[in-house]
Structure 1
C-alpha cells in the first residue's frame, strides 16, 4: 500500500538477510561505511516526507473503501413509533441478565 517495507518505516533502512551477507551480494561487495553514513543521514532527512506520503496513501485508500461501502448502504430514516432494536445492556446496566439471554430486544 505504501511501497515501503515496514523495516524501512521503523528504522529508515532496508534489512539484509543473512544469505545476502554470506553470498557476497552486490550490496555487500559495494558497501562503504562512509557512503552508508551519508545515506542514512539523507534518509533521516527524508523520513518525515516518507511518512507523510504513506499517510496520504492510507487516507486515499480509506476514502476508496468508504466510498465502496457507502455505495451499498441504503439509508432509512427513523420515524417516530417505528420498530428498532434496543441493546439490553443499556436497558439493564446491572448485568443481572444471564449469559444466554438475548443481547437485543
Structure 2
C-alpha cells in the first residue's frame, strides 16, 4: 500500500477498516457486525450507491428505527451463533491437531525419563551433557496430559509435569 516507510501512519485507518469489515473464519461474521449488529457501509457505497443503500434511503424513518431496534434485539442471538461457530471451529482445529499426536503409552507406576530444558550458564560437558533426567516413577496421571512424578527414593515433585516432556524408561 505504500512505497515509503514514512507513509504507514496514513494507511493505518484503511488497514483497520479492512480488518474490522472482513469476515473472520472463527466467528463467521465481521467484527463490525458483532459490535454494531449491522453490515458496515463501505466507502465505495457512498460514492456509487449500492442496492442496499438505495433501499434504505427510501424507507420511512419510523420503519427504519423499528427495523434497527429489531436487529439490535436479535444481536444477542447473532452473537450466540458466532460463539457456537467459534466452538465448532475450535473443535475442527483440535481434531486436525490431534491427528498428529502420537500416544505415549505411559501409565501409572511406569518408569520415565524427563526432558531437561534448563540451560546452565557454565556446563563443562557442553553439548555432550544429558538431555534427559531420571528415571522417575509416574505417581498419578492428571487430566489434560499432566503427570505427577515421584523420585525412586519416594520424594514427590511439587509441580506436575507435562506428558510431552516424558519418555518411557526401559531398565
1:85 aligned residue:
115
Secondary structure of 1:15 counterpart: coil
| Structure 1 stretch displaced more, 17-26 or 53-62 | 17-26
Identify if the C-alpha distance between structure 1 residues 69 and 41 changes in structure 2 by more than 3 Å, giving closer, same or farther: same
Tell me which protein shows more helix as a share of its residues.
Answer: 1
- Tell me, which stretches of 5 or more residues in structure 2 are unaligned? 1-24, 132-171
The TM-score with structure 1 as length reference comes to 0.69
Q: 2:48 aligns with which of 23, 27, 39?
A: 23
The TM-score with structure 2 as length reference comes to 0.46
Q: In the alignment, does 2:79 pair up with 1:51? A: yes
Greater gyration radius = 2
Map Cα deviations across residues 39-81 of structure 1 (whole Å, 9 max, x no partner): 221111111111111111111121122122222211211732x
Identify if the C-alpha distance between structure 1 residues 53 and 22 changes in structure 2 by more than 3 Å, giving closer, same or farther: same
By relative contact order (CA 8 Å, sep 6+), the higher-ranking structure is 1
Secondary structure of 1:88 counterpart: coil
- CA-atom RMSD in angstroms: 2.8
- Tell me, which stretches of 5 or more residues in structure 1 are unaligned? 90-95
Pairs aligned (count): 95
Map 1:1-105 → 2, pairs under 5 A: 1=25, 2-30=27-55, 31=57, 32=59, 33-76=61-104, 77=106, 79-80=110-111, 82-88=112-118, 97=121, 105=131
2:15 aligned residue:
none
